[in-house]
Structure 1
Amino acid sequence: MKKKSSLQVIEHVMFDFLIIGSGIAGASLALKLSALGKVALLCKESFFECNTRWAQGGIASVLSDEDNYALHIQDTLNAGVGLCHENVVQKVISSGPRSIQQLIALGVQFTQNTQCNQYDSEYHLTKEGGHSARRIIHSADMTGIALQNTLAQKVNENKNINLLEFHTAIDLIVTDKVAPDFSRNRALGAYVLNEKNKNIFAILAKATVLATGGHGKLYLYTTNPDVATGDGVAMAWRAGARVANLEFMQFHPTCLYDPKSKNFLISEALRGEGAILKTITGDRFMEDIHPLKELAPRDIVARAIDAQIKKSGAPYVYLDISHKEPSFVKNHFPGIYTKCLEIGLDITQEPIPVVPAAHYSCGGIVTDMRGRTGIKSLWALGEAACSGLHGANRLASNSLLEGVVFADFVFEDIASIIADLNLYKNPVVPKWELGTAAEPDEMVVISQLWDEIRRTMWNYVGIVRTEKRLARAAARIDQICQEIETYYWNIIPSRSLIEVRNLATVAQLTVKCARMRKESRGIHYSLDCPITDDKKYKKDTVVLS
């Protein structure tokens, strides 16, 4: 017998702007939009639990006389293997220095340059894979923490921002669903679950923004936190938006291999400062793979590591920076040094065991340069969006750049049409209907589905793919989606149920995109189609809702 729910449905609340997601993209935009009205900033856990919080390396931007826009643009285009939208790349990169200065003005403490004889910059700049110059501004190896701490302070001080922590967006509210007689689909806000108070309500807003981050939890091994479940992509898809390029999931080459601890990213900046990849027998292997060796683009390094793991049978390879002076390592990488020391590993004396892990999605909700999604009054930015910046593979440290720069672009767009937004008349929005739904008898159903999705994606839609693996993934994921939809409408919504539903939707869309691309390009590598085919596939993989 199903348990009666204590969950309550309450009245709607109104804001000028609803932003779902509290990372660098969402929080930066909230601070800007607060000058125009009341902002609801929604996050599933605390403000700090987002992908930005875990970013180590930094933000790529042209900040010294040794660098220029043309070089950064070309590096980005090279990494994207023909799929970057060049106009977007040019605009984002040329806007980078202005956005960095805005962060500095907010109070972000970036590492100062104490080696002015090397390059002309006030701040220390490091170099990562695929970059032709030092251009990564950072805060030691804990840039994400520095960003979130500063943004949190500014958000909490701002009286026009209502920070709604431990609130999970269930679904977007769009006119196609609640008032289909409207001439064009328009976003009205979202239905939201308040986990602490156990109630569901609608947040209605003139403008709704998805800054929900990525979906690394789609895979068994990931550098992402538990909140990265693709909520924005899934909700936008169900609302009628287009998605694209979901086959391009970037696997970070170097995640700490330690069965006892949560997946921990080992920043690419280590390789930028001379760390060497070695087999478990101590042999360097990247010299024969790519001219840039350890600083080759991430997809190449990840595949090389994956090949070594499969060849040796060992579950990891080594990343060795122990040849550097201990003081250098401790000063440049205090976070990584401390974390490794906690598990008994002194990286100044011994190599780090590493394994590739799902890290960043280059695909997402299709947007233009203003962050518009195609659904009126709905914008998307950051990792949840497919803006055209990354193409088939993201250049290292361009992600935080995209988030903060697009916060400017979206703000400027909303500000330019604010008068029109104020004129919109909203239809009557119904309360969330619980119907006959009840509490589940056992949570094991949800955990079983979650585990199946992640293992299926890891085994069949991972670093190296085949047509047979993708077909198997499609069959099982489609079945899981059907099971979840049947289960979903009979069960009281909970965060775990909402997340597993979203994961399944994004898994289905990812497999669909991967099966459409009959070639290898960037992050998407197929053993059956190893050649890059510009004649047929030099285009985005767009899936229509």
Structure 2
Amino acid sequence: MAGPGLQGERFAVIVVGSGISGLFVALEARHLGRVLVLTKGSIDDCNTRWAQGGIAAAVGPLDSPEQHLADTIAAGAGLVDEEAARILCYEAPARIRDLVRYGVSFDSLGGEVALGREAAHSRARVLHAGGDRTGAEIETALSEAAKDPAITILDHTLVTRVITREGEAAGVEAVALQTGEREVYLADAVVLGTGGAGQLFSHTTNPDVATGDGVALAFDAGAEIADIEFYQFHPTALRVPGVPTFLISEAVRGEGAVLRNRAGEAFMKRYHPLADLAPRDVVARAIVREMRSDGSDHVLLDCTGLKSVDLAARFPAIFAYCMSAGIDIRVDPIPVAPAAHYLMGGVRTDTWGRTTVPRLYACGECACTGVHGANRLASNSLMETVVFGKRVVEHLAAGGGGAAAATPDRAALPMPATAAPSHAELQAMMWECAGIERDGAGLERGLQTIAGWPARGEGAVTREAFERQQMTTVAALMLTAALRRTESRGGHYRSDYPETDDAHWKRRQVFVRER
């Protein structure tokens, strides 16, 4: 409960973020009392809306949660929390039913739900809605359902601090961006559902809002941050001069599209037995090496052999976007290159979404449940948001309270004393120093760059200035973790330490703010 002396409008639950995790939590929690959703953009600005591939669940007759679990563990490169992954895989079918109840209409074929296969899945278990518009379809359905008297949604409202009293989360401080007014909102629980951090990098599939705010807010409040070095770069984003980066879903390769180099060679068979459906980290690094060998900034994704697939119907958003860039994917190969896509680490939580700060919860991409380990299995991300969002609310309904147990060997780190001069300078530095291939010299150079930036402003209230501070915090955490992890594993690849070192590094790195 909030401590004495605090004044502000009071809610049962405050949710920060309006993607699938935030809206799902708000909908599930409305029976607990008034729910407040705060989002710095509009309700539509979120990573969910851009998720093309789909949502994974073992609902097919030839599939099982146990097989889904085995694939998740295999993809995670030795660091998956098996308890959390088991919960994800076994509760996934029920969460699909919840989404249907909230109005999501999944694609069907012959009267049965249509299931696709994506990289590192041993079965076809990926559900889609609206073809390659799965995220948008889910977001639209949840946004409509959230028009409920019990749910207050304030957009263009920037959360600048999680308020703690006697060590517990008690509410948030926020700024109404359109008026500049500062507000305090109080609640019995605060849930962070702010999404990822793709804007740390100059090439990303993420929207402008993905600046790592939830991770930085939690770190500042004293919560643990885990696995922050593991960042997933999606292998195939459109790379056309003058055209914004756009995700070309893995589901395109799932339908049979082939990656080719400049010579026209289908090169992935040289890198992995699964060829074009190898894990994302393998495919991304293979593309980088092919580009380097060819002296090119892209490879080609060839869909022209998919004569039995109606590409315009199966991938309407991709088809339309490529056509607008002058590419007819039925006859033209698509120029693609890797781009920053998904943060595997984040605010460390237990299987009920609790952080190490009592009454502060996190779910979705900003959280680190341990489900993804060092490398996320495709289409597990949307499912993670609803599985653990549901568990957050179940815990609150049972009385809430308590916190995730602290990690005994966590490392204390200071908040950065500086902030990036601009988004572009931070993005360029991170792409160069902490991108797909890393080394010690580059990571140290990145930390030195941060140390040389201007001092943090006091009381930054503009969205851009505040985002630069949050991005600098997350960048410093990521660079530090990547520098300390002297091995390669999953989404973290060190060219100076190219081998996986289980003897020393089959463990998670956890950081907490130095006090």
TM-score band w.r.t. shorter chain: over 0.9
The alpha-carbon distance between structure 1 residues 263 and 537, as it changes in their structure 2 partners (threshold 3 A), is same
Query: What's the secondary structure of 1:359's corresponding residue?
Result: strand
Match of residue 172, structure 1, among 162, 174, 178: 162
- The letter for the 2-side match of 1:172 is V
Match of residue 24, structure 1, among 13, 20, 25: 20
Match of residue 193, structure 2, among 205, 211, 225: 211
**Aligned-residue offset at 1:479:** 2.9
Matching of residue 465 in structure 1 with residue 438 in structure 2:
yes
Q: 1:527 corresponds to which residue?
A: 495
Gaps of 5+ in 2: 1-6, 403-417
Query: What's the secondary structure of 1:370's corresponding residue?
Result: coil
Q: Is the 8 A contact 2:420 2:469 kept in 1?
A: no
In terms of fraction of residues, the more helix-rich structure is 1
**Aligned-residue offset at 1:65:** 1.2
Q: 1:127 corresponds to which residue?
A: 117
Q: 1:494 corresponds to which residue?
A: 462
- The letter for the 2-side match of 1:478 is A
Q: 2:408 corresponds to which residue?
A: none
Query: What's the secondary structure of 2:172's corresponding residue?
Result: strand
Q: 2:411 corresponds to which residue?
A: none
Q: Distance in 2 between matches of 1:165 and 1:143?
A: 23
- The letter for the 2-side match of 1:195 is L
Q: 1:142 corresponds to which residue?
A: 133
Q: Is the 8 A contact 1:478 1:508 kept in 2?
A: no
**Aligned-residue offset at 1:492:** 4.7
Q: 1:477 corresponds to which residue?
A: 450
**Aligned-residue offset at 1:334:** 1.2
Within a 5 Å distance, the mapping from 1:99-498 to structure 2 comes to 99-114=95-110, 122-139=112-129, 140-156=131-147, 158-175=148-165, 182=166, 185-325=167-307, 328-417=310-399, 448-480=421-453, 483-485=454-456, 488-489=457-458, 492-498=460-466
| Residues 1-55 of structure 1 deviation map (CA, whole Å, 9 limit, x = unaligned) | xxxxxxxxxx732211100011111100100111110011011111111000000
Query: What's the secondary structure of 1:355's corresponding residue?
Result: strand
**Aligned-residue offset at 1:501:** 0.3
Q: Distance in 1 between matches of 2:367 and 2:496?
A: 29
Q: Is the 8 A contact 1:23 1:51 kept in 2?
A: yes
Q: 2:50 corresponds to which residue?
A: 54
- The letter for the 2-side match of 1:413 is H
Q: 2:81 corresponds to which residue?
A: 85
Q: Distance in 2 between matches of 1:153 and 1:239?
A: 32
- The letter for the 2-side match of 1:36 is L
Q: Distance in 1 between matches of 2:240 and 2:183?
A: 41
- The letter for the 2-side match of 1:37 is G
Q: Is the 8 A contact 2:204 2:339 kept in 1?
A: yes
Q: Distance in 1 between matches of 2:452 and 2:222?
A: 22
**Aligned-residue offset at 1:325:** 2.2
- The letter for the 2-side match of 1:135 is R
- The letter for the 1-side match of 2:432 is N
Q: 1:3 corresponds to which residue?
A: none
**Aligned-residue offset at 1:261:** 2.6
Q: Is the 8 A contact 1:80 1:391 kept in 2?
A: yes
**Aligned-residue offset at 1:309:** 1.2
Q: Distance in 2 between matches of 1:251 and 1:66?
A: 30
Q: Is the 8 A contact 2:232 2:491 kept in 1?
A: yes
Q: Distance in 2 between matches of 1:60 and 1:170?
A: 34
Q: Distance in 1 between matches of 2:333 and 2:421?
A: 36
- The letter for the 1-side match of 2:135 is G
Gaps of 5+ in 1: 1-10, 117-121, 176-181, 422-444
Q: TM-score, normalised on structure 2?
A: 0.93
Q: Distance in 2 between matches of 1:506 and 1:306?
A: 25
Match of residue 94, structure 2, among 71, 95, 98: 98
- Provide the aligned length of Structure 1 versus Structure 2: 492
Q: 1:70 corresponds to which residue?
A: 66
- The letter for the 1-side match of 2:207 is P
- The letter for the 2-side match of 1:73 is L
Q: Which protein shows a greater Rg?
A: 1
Q: Is the 8 A contact 1:256 1:263 kept in 2?
A: yes
Q: Percent identity?
A: 41
